[in-house]
């Protein structure tokens, strides 16, 4: 159904500022693309289109979470340990349960449904080592309508016996899943997923790197998250210069590789990330929850590193990208106060960019999604923004930057009215 919407609209610009239409008119064709967006009344121009007046609402682009773990959602908000004991005590026992297909399916349904309810229209997601569970995750993402990049986890060493794979089987199952799903409907993609250097042999990592490169799949892993983890990697790979060097030698870095965290990387390591154009998934909520540290976001941005935001559920306790934007700002303030007075914190507009267009750009989806512009898909979130305002939109604080800032700090699932992907309504609250 082709539609013209009238609403306050806020969309990010490539220079990390925001563009506001107040009110804006957005024409969406029946193939789900934005045909036109402007402040002029398009109601008469697009005859035959349904006219939907959302004057009391705000439309923003769908949010993009570039790092999360589907099976871990069940224990979000629980966990009192740092990374390695947290994996042993919480993550691995839970991930074992995904050998059961019913559990895997029920969890996937809840996970994608809750992502959409939180306004996340693009997700990059880890499942478990189980091929069936990853296949089921793709099936449920397909049904939910979400844009998703999904991978079966690979791990063949230093893991509990029940999660340790045979290397060859791990590789073969990865190939089968990737061939089946990568590029489906131009909405579902495969991401090769060696969990981290601790749990993957060099042989496994090298072979996965080759597979990804040959077929242009995404790659994702974890890098330099926790001091204990870094020490462990040093012991496992004594001939390597650094943690980042391990991945570079294994052939895993590049413009389609997403490395989560990268908190404690030294100068040489960030040089490698810059040179290879590797993507960093910044997960500030998780970084505090697991006491991993504070990533120098401003420094990395100034260095030109490619960065998106990730919830890292359940290292992070929430699927809300509003929460993640807030934590990105707060962590960058903390970094200025306690680590380096010369680094400026990021602004709400910059956080908004990272959670939308920035995420789309690093994933190479910027022609499809991430901002509201002619020719892109109508991936959008309708927000009841006045609910975030103590004075219900009637007070003095209604500049676009103020509306956005309040939404980041005070918004969440409760302030979302509807969510659309490719113009199709995927969530509607009462
Ligand atoms: N490093 C290896 N596996 C994981 C995981 O599941 N979560 C986080 N936060 N870090 C990891
Ligand atoms: Fe993670």
Average pLDDT of the residues in 327-351: 98
The rounded mean pLDDT for the chain is 98
| Amino acid 300: pLDDT | 98
Q: Is the pLDDT of residue 85 over 70?
A: yes
- The CATH number of 3-61+371-428, from 2.40.50.180, 2.40.128.20, 3.30.390.50, 2.30.40.10, is 2.30.40.10
Instruction: Give per-residue pLDDT as tens, 223-244.
Output: 999 999 999 999 999 999 999 9
Ligand 1 pocket member 286 (CB < 6 A): yes
Instruction: Give per-residue pLDDT as tens, 37-58.
Output: 999 999 999 999 999 999 999 9
Q: How far is the CA of 420 from the centre of ligand 2 (A)?
A: 27
Secondary structure element (H or E) that encloses residue 220, with its range = strand 218-223
Q: Which residues surround ligand 2, an ion (CB under 5 A)?
A: 260, 312
Edge-first strand listing for the sheet containing 18-28: 34-38, 18-28, 3-12, 50-61, 380-383, 416-421, 424-428
Average pLDDT of the residues in 413-423: 97
Residue 17 banded pLDDT, cuts 50, 70, 90: very high
Please tell me the number of the ligand nearest to residue 289's CA. Answer: 1
Please tell me the number of the ligand nearest to residue 155's CA. Answer: 1
Q: How far is the CA of 17 from the centre of ligand 2 (A)?
A: 29
Q: What's the predicted TM-score (pTM) here?
A: 0.98
Q: Is the pLDDT of residue 429 over 90?
A: no
| Amino acid 57: pLDDT | 98
Q: Is the pLDDT of residue 154 over 70?
A: yes
Average pLDDT of the residues in 81-102: 98
Strands (E), 120-187: 120-126, 147-151, 153-154
| Amino acid 428: pLDDT | 81
d(CA 381, CA 418): 6
According to CATH, what is the number of the domain 63-363? Answer: 3.20.20.140
Q: Is the pLDDT of residue 1 over 90?
A: no
Residue 430 banded pLDDT, cuts 50, 70, 90: low
Instruction: Give per-residue pLDDT as tens, 194-232.
Output: 999 999 999 999 999 999 999 999 999 999 999 999 999
Residue of the nearest CA to atom 7 in ligand 1?
315
Q: Is the pLDDT of residue 321 over 80?
A: yes
Q: What does the domain layout of the chain look like in residue ranges?
A: 3-61+371-428, 63-363
Ligand 1 pocket member 194 (CB < 6 A): no
Nearest CA among 321, 266, 311 for reference residue 288: 311
Secondary structure element (H or E) that encloses residue 259, with its range = strand 257-261
Sequence-ordered alpha helix ranges (H) in 64-166: 83-86, 92-96, 101-117, 131-144
**Does a cis peptide bond (omega within 30 degrees of 0) precede residue 23?**
yes
Give, in order, the Cα–Cα distances in Å from 302 to each of 15, 21, 344. Answer: 13, 29, 11
């Amino acid at each position: 159904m082709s539609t013209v919407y009238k609403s306050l609209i806020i969309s990010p610009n490539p220079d990390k500022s925001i563009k506001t239409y107040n009110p804006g008119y957005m024409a969406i064709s029946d193939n789900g693309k934005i045909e036109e967006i402007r402040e002029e009344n398009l109601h008469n121009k697009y005859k035959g289109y349904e006219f939907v007046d959302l004057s009391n609402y705000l439309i923003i682009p769908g949010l993009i979470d570039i790092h999360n773990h589907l099976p871990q959602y069940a224990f979000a908000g629980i966990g009192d340990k740092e990374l390695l004991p947290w994996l042993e005590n919480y993550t691995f026992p839970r991930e074992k349960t995904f050998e059961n297909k019913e559990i895997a399916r029920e969890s996937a349904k809840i996970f994608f449904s809750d992502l959409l309810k939180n306004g996340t229209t693009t997700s990059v997601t880890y499942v478990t080592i189980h091929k069936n569970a990853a296949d089921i995750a793709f099936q449920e993402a397909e049904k939910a309508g979400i844009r998703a990049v999904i991978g079966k986890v690979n791990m063949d060493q230093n893991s509990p016996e029940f999660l340790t794979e045979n290397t060859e089987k791990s590789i073969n199952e990865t190939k089968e899943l990737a061939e089946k799903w990568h590029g489906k409907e131009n909405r579902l993609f495969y991401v090769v997923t060696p969990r981290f250097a601790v749990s993957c042999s060099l042989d496994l990592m090298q072979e996965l790197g080759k597979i990804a490169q040959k077929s242009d799949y995404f790659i994702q892993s974890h890098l330099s998250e926790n001091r204990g983890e870094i020490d462990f990697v040093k012991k496992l790979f004594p001939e390597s210069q650094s943690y980042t060097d391990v991945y570079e030698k294994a052939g895993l870095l590049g413009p389609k590789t997403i490395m989560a965290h990268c908190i404690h990387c030294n100068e040489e390591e960030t040089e490698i990330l810059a040179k290879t154009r590797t993507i960093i998934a910044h997960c500030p909520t998780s970084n505090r929850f697991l006491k991993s540290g504070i990533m120098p976001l401003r420094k990395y941005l100034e260095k030109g590193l490619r960065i998106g935001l990730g919830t890292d559920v359940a290292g992070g306790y929430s699927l809300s990208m509003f929460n993640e934007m807030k934590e990105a700002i707060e962590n960058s303030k903390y970094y200025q106060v306690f680590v380096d007075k010369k680094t400026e914190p990021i602004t709400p507009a910059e956080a908004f960019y990272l959670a939308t267009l920035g995420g789309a750009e690093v994933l190479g989806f910027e022609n499809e999604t991430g901002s509201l512009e002619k020719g892109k898909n109508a991936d959008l979130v309708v927000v009841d923004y006045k609910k975030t305002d103590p004075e219900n939109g009637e007070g003095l604080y209604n500049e676009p930057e103020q509306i956005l800032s309040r939404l980041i700090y005070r918004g969440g699932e409760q302030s979302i009215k509807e969510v659309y992907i490719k113009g199709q309504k995927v969530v509607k609250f009462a």
